[in-house]
Amino acid sequence: MYSFDTSISGSMEEALPLVRTALAKEGFGVLFDIDIQAILKAKLGADSRPYHILGACNPGYAHRALSADTNVGLLLPCNVVVREEEDGRLTVAFMDPNAVLALVGNPEINPIAEQVRALLGKVRDDLSGH
Task: State whether CATH 3.30.310.70 applies to domain 3-128.
Answer: yes
The whole-number average pLDDT for the span 32-48 is 98
* Domain residue spans of the chain: 3-128
Q: What angle do CA 8, 56, 15 make, to 5 degrees?
A: 25
**Using an 8 Å Cβ cutoff, are 53 and 78 in contact?**
no
| pLDDT beyond 90 at 65 | yes
pLDDT at 112 over 90: yes
Q: Is the pTM of this model over 0.75?
A: yes
